Amino acid sequence: MLDSQSAPQSAPMGLKLAALAMAVAVVGLPVNNATDYALLAASAIFIFSGAVRVQKSAWLAAVAVAALAIAAQLVLAPPRIDEGHNVFLPGGGALERGLPADVYRHLAEEFDRQYPPTKRCKAPTEGCWLGHGFPDRPFAFSADGIFNKSDMSRSVTELDFSDPVWLRLSFINDMRYNWYPGSDVQRASRDRRFWMGVHRWHLTMPWFEMIRLPAAYAGGQLCWRGDVMWEGAEARFALWRGDGCRVIEPADAGRRVVGVGIVPESLAMRLEPPLAVRLLLLGKGLLALAGVAVLALLLIRFEPRRAILPFLLVGLSALVIAIDDASFLGGMRPFDGGDDGLFYDGVAQRMLQHLLAGDVRGFLEGGEAIFYYGGPGLRYFRALEHLVFGDSYLGYLTLVLLLPFAALALFRRFLPASWALALTLMFIAVPLGELFGSTFIDYAKWAARGFADPAAYIFFIAGLALLVEAPAPAVGGKFVPALFGSLLLALGIAMKPIIAPAAAVFLGGAGLYALYRRQWPRLAGLCLGFLPVFSIALHNWVFGHALVLFSANAAHPQVLVMPPSAYAAALYELATFNFSGGNLTRALLQIPNWLSGPAETYWTVPLNAAGVAILAYVVVRGSPFDPWLRLIGAAALAQHAVALFYVATARYHFLTWFLTMLVVMVFCCQVGFDWLCRRYPALSQGFLLHPLSRRIAGGLARLEKVSA
């Protein structure tokens, strides 16, 4: 039983969000490192799995604690280090004008040695670095510097790196440095060995690192690997080659040290503070930890058993991500040249700079007067992500970590608890979805690569979990779930308009049902929540003076590979027995390409074809099934129809196969399993009574019991 000072588990979500916001305020913005993020993630799990207190005295005490923790951190703040970095490309003028002459001269000499002028790519060559932009300032813009100003890129409290990916250099994914393999200067290389997740990416861009030594660091030391240039008297810089350490003298206060990173992976630096600064750094961390812990104790009535499953889901998800590409957990990986990720993040950085300069119109324009390049939503998400999470991709990581929870909520709606939990754990940890359905690693991989597809599907799945009514009639007709559910579907379309048919089918069916049941609040919520989707067309009209519903590349021949006219031409070829046009061949190949599924192999065509057949049966003739499941199936069929026209790239259709998997699993649970037991009783009994099966079932039952 909950005490009188606690709200029930169905208390307004606003109170829990307020508690989390206070925890974020104590930690401080930007949240751009794994330690702070892990602290807030653990806090979020305890907050949302516990019962929030509603007593005013508890909230007043929490506000006082948060204010005290923030004030104490400001008073005891360690000295900040001005830090600047940038790509180094000779030419363009900004670096030559802004860097000390000794520094620029040495960097240019090192660049010529590493990239001889006689072997450089030519400007007309596609992807050549000489044909793209150059730095327009001596130090790159950094989102880390929004809240902690510096005349360089940013100000930091620590400097310790041996891998620039974890230093989170903001210029890495500037769209101006969109170099392809034809360039002699490359962006990055990838280590494909599966155990190299922490160091999956190796930056190969030429760059430099500059710091200004604070007076408080006298008595500490700076250690390095590679070449550094140390400022001396009269602003002259002395070159120190190789590995070494040097004690920081009082005379070094305010002087600059430059690390030379022209040769890939040649530079590492570690600034070791004196004891007084170490104590301040330790005190700041302890104050943040204590402040968040006290806030949670004041506002949340903990239910540790309910936190077991969320910690398990997050832990498994983080482990899968770390194995594939650990830089997604707090680093900044270099996106591939010509990739969607580089475009979205590069545009987002420019948009954020417009916003910080007060140019709201430039921010809203989103880099294009008429949206063309994929879904328009991710660039806005990226800009806001950098505002909160600095030079990291922890915002997108949060979205990916929420996917298992949204999937579990949807599975629980239609499947028994043990089935839903088992399917969720398999979805995360066992990549069987590569063969049929979809698997968590696919979403994590493409999100880490910076593509919009995973974000679209996560929003859609979360929206379904909110919109699908529970069987109890008391839940029907609520305004708030309908509002936010349809809003999530609209956000999904903004991320990737290709899912619009599924959203239209599902929302159309949900709206008609609400109208039939006269659930006016629910109908109003559905309409108001989905209304923002039309802002995409409004943007194209206001900025581009053209009526484009979503994006202008919807009819691009590399995307729309089989338009209706091609099918008409294929029918004409079949009727006239004239196959010289090749349209019939293309039409026939489109079907196995569609049914190849996430694995993109023809070996999985029979399995996927069976799944589509079951999906069609449930939708058309499955009256014993839940009407909401049939509506989800209809949405999935709409997306399958899209695959008959558009390119069968696997990432375009993860949502389609996820929804198909859901319907098929419900069919197997309600029909297929009973049929199997009747048809093969001995085999079924042997499987159910096997010790391993019983242990798995018992473990799932215990996990469900303690987390329910």
Q: What is the mean pLDDT of residues 258-268?
A: 95
Q: What is the pLDDT of residue 472?
A: 45
Residues 134 and 31 in one domain: no
What pLDDT is recorded for position 470?
61
In this prediction, residues 533-538 reach a mean pLDDT of: 94
Assess whether 580 and 541 both reside in one domain.
no
Closest among 82, 265, 242, 244 to 164, alpha carbons compared: 265
| Tokens at 64, concatenated | 């006082």
> If pLDDT is split at 50, 70 and 90, which confidence band does 473 have?
very low
The CA distance from 703 to 489, in Å, is: 31
Q: Report which of residues 647 and 113 the model is more confident about.
A: 113
Contact 173, 212 (CB under 8 A): no
Tell me the average pLDDT across 390-414.
96
Q: Judge if 54 and 96 occupy the same domain.
A: no
Does residue 160 fall inside a structural domain? yes
The yes-or-no verdict on residue 132 having pLDDT over 90 is no
- Residue 7 reports pLDDT greater than 70: no
Q: Lowest-pLDDT range, 8-22, 89-103, 387-401, 410-424?
A: 8-22
Query: Which 3 state secondary structure label does DSSP give 299?
Result: helix
- Residue 477: pLDDT band (50, 70, 90) is low
**Would 405 be classed as within a structural domain?**
no
Residue 124, pLDDT > 50, answer: yes
Q: Is the peptide bond before 497 cis (omega within 30 degrees of 0)?
A: no
558: which DSSP letter? T
Mean pLDDT of 406-424: 93
**DSSP assignment letter at 124:** T
**Whether residue 611 is found in the same domain as residue 545:** no
Residue with tokens 């559905």: 526
Residues 220 and 295 in one domain: no
Domain final position from 509, 527, 553: 553
Inter-residue contact 255 to 231 (CB < 8 Å)? yes
Considering the domain architecture, whether residues 592 and 523 belong to the same structural domain is answered as no
Q: Distances in Å between the alpha carbon of 605 and those of 356, 437, 634? A: 51, 12, 21
CA distance 310 to 333: 27
**Window from 17-26, 504-513, 671-680 with minimum mean pLDDT:** 671-680
Do 155 and 77 contact (CB within 8 A), yes or no?
Answer: no
pTM beyond cutoff 0.85: yes
Question: Does some domain include residue 312?
Answer: no
CA gap 646, 447 in Å, rounded: 21
Per-residue model confidence (pLDDT) at position 471: 57
- Of 367, 370, 364, 382, the C-alpha closest to 550 is 370
Q: Is residue 333 part of a domain?
A: no
Angle between helices 453-467 and 377-389 (to 10 degrees): 90
Kindly tell me the sign of the dihedral angle through the C-alpha atoms of 419, 423, 424, 430. Answer: positive
d(CA 253, CA 249): 7
What is the sign, positive or negative, of the torsion defined by CA atoms of 672, 418, 663, 608? negative
Lowest mean pLDDT, pick from 155-159, 335-339, 426-430, 473-477: 473-477
**What's the pLDDT band for 708 if we cut at 50, 70, 90?**
low
How many Cβ atoms sit within 10 Å of the Cβ of residue 169? Answer: 25
144 and 264 in a single domain? The answer is yes
Rounded mean pLDDT, 221-228: 96
Each residue's pLDDT tens digit, 226-259: 999 999 988 899 999 989 999 999 999 999 999 9
Residue 213: strand, helix, or coil: coil
Residues 35 and 173 reside in one and the same domain: no
Domain-located, residue 600 = yes
Which of these ranges, 318-327, 464-473, 500-509, 618-627, has the smallest mean pLDDT?
A: 464-473
Task: Tell me how long the chain is.
Answer: 708
> Over 80: is that where the pLDDT of 581 sits?
no
> Does residue 608 fall inside a structural domain?
yes
Do 314 and 393 meet the contact criterion of CB atoms below 8 Å apart?
no
Burial 21-56 (b: 16+ CB within 10 A, else e): ebbbbbbbebbbbbebbebbbbbbbbbbbbbbbbee
How far apart (Å, rounded) are the C-alpha atoms in residues 511 and 488?
16
Q: Mean pLDDT across the stretch 204-220?
A: 95
d(CA 119, CA 123): 13
- 469-477 — which CB contacts under 8 Å span 24+ positions? 469/628, 470/413, 476/517, 476/519, 476/522, 477/514, 477/517, 477/519, 477/520, 477/521, 477/522
Instruction: Please name which of 391, 345, 354, 379 lies closest in space to residue 31, comparing C-alpha atoms.
Output: 391
* Residue that is written with structure tokens 């482990």 in the block: 319
Cα→Cα distances 508→50, 372, 496, 503, 693, Å: 36, 27, 19, 8, 42
Are 88 and 44 within one domain?
A: no
Interval 687-699 mean pLDDT = 74
Q: Does 310 reside within a domain?
A: no
Checking if the pLDDT of 360 tops 90, the result is yes
User: Is residue 487 domain-shared with residue 597, that is, in the same domain?
Assistant: no
Return left, alpha or beta for 597; rule: phi > 0 is left, psi -120 to 50 is alpha, else beta.
Answer: left
C-alpha distance from residue 274 to each of 277, 281, 363 (Å): 6, 11, 43
CA count, 13 A, side-chain hemisphere, 115: 22
Supply angle C-alpha 356, 360, 366, rounded to 5. 95
What distance in Å separates the CA atoms of residue 48 and residue 41, rounded to the nearest whole number? 11
Is residue 392 within 8 Å of residue 332, measured between CB atoms? Answer: yes
In sequence order, what are the residues at sequence separation of 6 or more whose Cβ sits closer than 8 angstroms to the Cβ of residue 425? 316
Query: Which residues are CB-neighbours of 608 under 8 A, at least 6 positions away?
Result: 436, 595, 596, 597, 657
Domain boundary, last residue among 272, 292, 322: 272
pLDDT score at 435: 86
Mean pLDDT value of segment 158-173: 94
The answer on 355 and 472 residing in a single domain is: yes
Question: Who wins on pLDDT, 191 or 704?
Answer: 191
For residue 136, give every residue at least 6 positions away whose Cβ sits within 8 Å of its Cβ, in sequence order, or none: 92, 94
* Three-state secondary-structure class, residue 257: strand
User: Is the per-residue pLDDT at 61 higher than 50?
Assistant: yes
1: pLDDT strictly greater than 50: no
Q: How many domains does one find in the chain?
A: 4
Quick one: what percent of the chain has pLDDT higher than 70? 96
Segment 328-349 mean pLDDT:
93
Q: What angle do CA 579, 584, 588 make, to 5 degrees?
A: 140
In a domain, 203, yes or no: yes
Which residue has better confidence, 574 or 229? Answer: 229
Tokens describing residue 515? 């109208």
Higher pLDDT residue, 624 or 459?
459
How far apart (Å, rounded) are the C-alpha atoms in residues 658 and 417?
19
Contact present, 418 and 697 (Cβ < 8 Å)? yes
Please, are residues 328 and 92 in contact by the beta-carbon 8 Å criterion? no
Q: What is the mean pLDDT of residues 96-114?
A: 94
Please give the mean pLDDT across all residues of the chain: 90
Q: Phi-psi region for residue 339, left (φ > 0), alpha (ψ -120 to 50) or beta?
A: beta
Query: Does residue 80 register a pLDDT over 50?
Result: yes
Residues 259 and 367 in one domain: no
User: Looking at residue 304, what is its pLDDT?
Assistant: 86
Confidence (pLDDT) at 465:
94
Residue 28 tokens read as 């401080």
Give the structural domain span for 359: 340-393+450-553
CA distances for 588 relative to 534, 556, 572, 592, angstroms: 36, 21, 14, 8
Out of 163-177, 466-480, 562-576, least confident range: 466-480
Of the three residues 553, 576, 609, the one that is the final residue of a domain is 553
